[in-house]
């Protein structure tokens, strides 16, 4: 056991597949808040004797083919599934466009999707690794037949440090959501 700058004891931690499988998934109570996505927080100082990193596994269920708002013409925005119109996604898995001050890393474990970072879309699939700078607007969608599953990592002691600022539908406004375990 060692002490860190937070003066709390920190211990090594190993989580096995069976432990992770038995963790209850978390999600937004209403998909209109942040999207049709679930996650399992694996390491965060509120739950574990760890610091420095907060990590978890997120899942978007399969659904419609998605496009980033920057790639849509003004005529097609109303009829094409997109981040700018989450209702158009039906039951497709997605995490709405948002920002937070912490940089983030995704490692895609399985599935195929599109991650949109500052209005640039990038196809991702099993094995892809994505770096998202702090304060970059980003979101992710499932465009495959199976679940899109990715490991996420923040350089933060705990998930409570991450404040999600969701992009608004009109005029760039939005809402702030503190990450919740």
Q: Under DSSP, is residue 69 helix (H, G, I), strand (E, B) or coil? A: helix
Q: Over the stretch 82-115, which tens digit does the pLDDT of each residue have?
A: 666 666 666 779 999 999 999 999 999 999 999 9
Q: Is the pTM of this model over 0.85?
A: no
Give residue 34's Cα distance to chain centre: 9
Spatial separation of the C-alpha atoms in residues 172 and 137, rounded to whole Å: 11
Over the stretch 2-13, which tens digit does the pLDDT of each residue have? 444 556 789 999
């Amino acid at each position: 056991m060692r002490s860190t700058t937070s003066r709390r004891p920190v211990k090594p931690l190993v989580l096995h597949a069976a432990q992770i499988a038995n963790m209850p998934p978390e999600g937004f109570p209403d998909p209109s808040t942040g999207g049709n996505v679930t996650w399992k927080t694996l390491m965060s100082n509120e739950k574990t004797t760890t610091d420095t990193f907060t990590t978890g596994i997120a899942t978007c269920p399969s659904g419609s083919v998605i496009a980033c708002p920057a790639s849509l013409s003004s005529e097609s925005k109303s009829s094409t599934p997109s981040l700018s119109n989450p209702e158009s996604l039906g039951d497709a898995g997605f995490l709405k466009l948002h920002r937070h001050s912490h940089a983030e890393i995704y490692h895609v474990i399985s599935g195929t999707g599109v991650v949109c970072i500052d209005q640039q879309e990038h196809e991702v699939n099993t094995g892809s690794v994505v770096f998202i700078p702090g304060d970059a607007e980003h979101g992710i969608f499932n465009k495959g037949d199976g679940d899109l599953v990715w490991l996420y990592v923040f350089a933060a002691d705990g998930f409570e440090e991450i404040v999600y600022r969701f992009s608004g539908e009109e005029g760039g406004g939005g809402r702030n959501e503190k990450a919740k375990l």
